[in-house]
Amino acid sequence: MLVGIVGKPNVGKSTFFKALTMADVEIASRPFTTIKPNRGIAYVKIPCPETYFNKKCDPQNSSCIKGNRFVPVEILDVAGLVPDAHKGKGLGNKFLDDLRQADVFIHVIDLSGKTDAEGNEILGYNPLNDIKFLENELDKWFFGIIDKNWSNFVRRVSITKGDFTKEMVTSLSGLGIKYEHIMQALSNLGMKQDELKDVKEEKLLELSSELRKVSKPMLILANKADIPGSEDNLKFLENYEVIVCSSDVELALREANNKEIIDYIPGEDKFEIKKEVTDNQKKALEFMESFLKKNQGSGAQKAINNAVFDLLQSIVIFPVEDENKLTNNKGHILPDAFILPKKSKAIDLAYAIHTDIGNGFVRAVDCKTKRSVGKDYELNNGNVIKIHSTK
């Protein structure tokens, strides 16, 4: 799973990336601060089952803070996108190529309206323009790739008499497009498979846009919401679901937490001051606390959770080897957390652990209910599962 952070230059993408990962990246108020893509690890947050079982966990592939389990996901921050990027303007070609592997996009926009289409400082810019131009660039990027290969699709299918949609999947795998994406896009547009061979350019552009939407869903992150007057621009975004955010606030809080000045859990709307602070620090902390209370958090943790759990429809499962002690073979309690697609079955978890475990699947145990279940048991978010296998 790869979450791509997208947007025009100078909207705070790198700050958002650093806040989520605490990685050492360059942050500056100028366009194209990011040249090479930054890859890092962010963490989705869910309740840890340690509270349900009243047993202190010992995480191995994740972390736990006061009953909150933080599970790693990979994120990618790429160079800023500008209008006509699909034609190579700015760092467009590189930007778009870097995004091929992303499963979901978080589109960071400047809610304050203080950066123009190319990331230069300005006043009174409508952030709605950023959403529309980026959607247009991504649609034309998809269209350019699909249109370039379309005649080859038609020729190969006519020769082999094969399945047109399956041929598309093979040719477009580099974009992360799957068979179910194509079928969903066709269904959304009311198109039939047999219409594809003679599709016109206008309809192909429409299909490309729909494929982009279903294969790479996108979340709108209204960043810089801590700047006075920013919330006035929310009226322009009323037709979109957006998450209001201040990456600056989140980054400052995480840095203060690391220095043990405060006790802060990402995603919370409060923190505790642990050390004596200066008057300036106190004033800054009071401002950040006010922002958290007003917006139910900084927005950063909500964004990564929303991208993974809502847009990608994922769940977190906790596999154990001993259903009574809730341990692995080394005695670690509730050691691992696996991210799986929603509606995954017990057999899917078995194969996610190891191919041999899947091949030797006998049964599973839901450790919360102590009930034995079969391979087709549909898993729910937060399940603790023991797999019995002959391997």
pLDDT above 60: residue 181: yes
Instruction: Based on the fold, state whether residues 88 and 141 are members of the same structural domain.
Output: no
DSSP 318-359: EEESBTTTTB-TT--BS---EEEETT-BHHHHHHHH-HHHHH
Q: Please report which confidence band the pLDDT of residue 152 belongs to, taking 50, 70 and 90 as the band edges.
A: confident
Instruction: Based on the fold, state whether residues 94 and 191 are members of the same structural domain.
Output: no
pLDDT tens for 237-255 read: 999 999 999 999 999 999 9
pLDDT above 80: residue 58: yes
Instruction: Based on the fold, state whether residues 121 and 255 are members of the same structural domain.
Output: yes
Instruction: Based on the fold, state whether residues 291 and 327 are members of the same structural domain.
Output: no
C-alpha closest to that of 106 among 84, 132, 77: 77
Instruction: Based on the fold, state whether residues 123 and 228 are members of the same structural domain.
Output: yes
Residue 260's alpha-carbon distances to 264, 266, 272, 277, 340, in angstroms, are 9, 14, 10, 11, 34
Least confident interval from 73-77, 86-90, 138-142: 86-90
- Given 214, 243, 269, the domain boundary residue is 214
**What does the alpha-carbon distance between residue 48 and residue 66 come to, in Å, rounded to a whole number?**
9
Task: Compute the average pLDDT of residues 144-153.
Answer: 79
Tokens describing residue 129: 């323009």
Residue with the larger pLDDT of the pair 164 and 16: 16
Instruction: Based on the fold, state whether residues 124 and 140 are members of the same structural domain.
Output: no
CATH number at residue 321: 3.10.20.30
- Given 190, 214, 238, the domain boundary residue is 214
Residue with the larger pLDDT of the pair 388 and 192: 388
- Residue burial 213-250, b: 16+ Cβ < 10 Å; e: rest: bbbbebbbbbbbbbeeebeebeeebeeeebbbbbbbbb
pLDDT of amino acid 25:
42
pLDDT of amino acid 90:
45
In a domain, 311, yes or no: no
Instruction: Based on the fold, state whether residues 81 and 171 are members of the same structural domain.
Output: no
Task: Compute the average pLDDT of residues 79-102.
Answer: 63
In a domain, 332, yes or no: yes
Q: What is this structure's pTM?
A: 0.88
Instruction: Based on the fold, state whether residues 147 and 94 are members of the same structural domain.
Output: no
Q: What is the CA radius of gyration of the chain?
A: 23
Q: Say if CB 11 and CB 347 are below 8 A apart.
A: no
- Mean pLDDT across the chain: 88
Tokens describing residue 331: 């005695």
pLDDT tens for 315-343 read: 999 999 999 999 999 999 999 999 999 99
pLDDT of amino acid 160:
61
In a domain, 223, yes or no: yes
- Given 275, 306, 337, the domain boundary residue is 306
**What does the alpha-carbon distance between residue 333 and residue 356 come to, in Å, rounded to a whole number?**
23
Tokens describing residue 231: 């919330």
Q: Please report which confidence band the pLDDT of residue 158 belongs to, taking 50, 70 and 90 as the band edges.
A: low
Determine the residue type at 250: E
DSSP 230-253: GGGGGGGGTTS-EEE--HHHHHHH
Burial class (CB in 10 A: 0-12, 13-18, 19+), 158: exposed
In a domain, 279, yes or no: yes
In a domain, 147, yes or no: yes
Tokens describing residue 319: 């596999």
- Domain with 261, as residue range(s), is 2-128+218-306
First to last CA, the chain: 28
pLDDT of amino acid 165:
78
C-alpha closest to that of 42 among 8, 69, 13, 71: 71
Distance of CA 9 to the CA centre of its chain: 20
Q: Please report which confidence band the pLDDT of residue 105 belongs to, taking 50, 70 and 90 as the band edges.
A: very high
Task: Compute the average pLDDT of residues 82-88.
Answer: 57
C-alpha closest to that of 384 among 340, 314, 341, 320: 320
Q: Please report which confidence band the pLDDT of residue 31 belongs to, taking 50, 70 and 90 as the band edges.
A: very low
* Cross-strand pairs, 39: 76
In a domain, 122, yes or no: yes
Residue whose pair of structure tokens reads 């652990």 in the numeric block: 353
Instruction: Based on the fold, state whether residues 203 and 252 are members of the same structural domain.
Output: no
User: DSSP secondary-structure letter at 9?
Assistant: T
Instruction: Based on the fold, state whether residues 278 and 342 are members of the same structural domain.
Output: no
Tokens describing residue 142: 């998809």
pLDDT of amino acid 126:
95
Q: Say if CB 73 and CB 95 are below 8 A apart.
A: no
pLDDT of amino acid 193:
77
In a domain, 186, yes or no: yes
Least confident interval from 80-89, 207-216, 350-359: 80-89
CATH number at residue 18: 3.40.50.300
**What does the alpha-carbon distance between residue 256 and residue 228 come to, in Å, rounded to a whole number?**
23
Count of structural domains, the chain? 3
Instruction: Based on the fold, state whether residues 105 and 174 are members of the same structural domain.
Output: no
Instruction: Based on the fold, state whether residues 82 and 124 are members of the same structural domain.
Output: yes
**What does the alpha-carbon distance between residue 320 and residue 367 come to, in Å, rounded to a whole number?**
9
In a domain, 12, yes or no: yes
Q: Please report which confidence band the pLDDT of residue 82 belongs to, taking 50, 70 and 90 as the band edges.
A: low
Please enumerate in sequence order all residues whose Cβ is within 8 A of that of 121, keeping only pairs 6 or more positions apart, or say none: 29, 114, 115
**What does the alpha-carbon distance between residue 369 and residue 380 come to, in Å, rounded to a whole number?**
13
pLDDT above 90: residue 48: yes
Phi, psi (5° rounding) for residue 196?
A: -65, -35
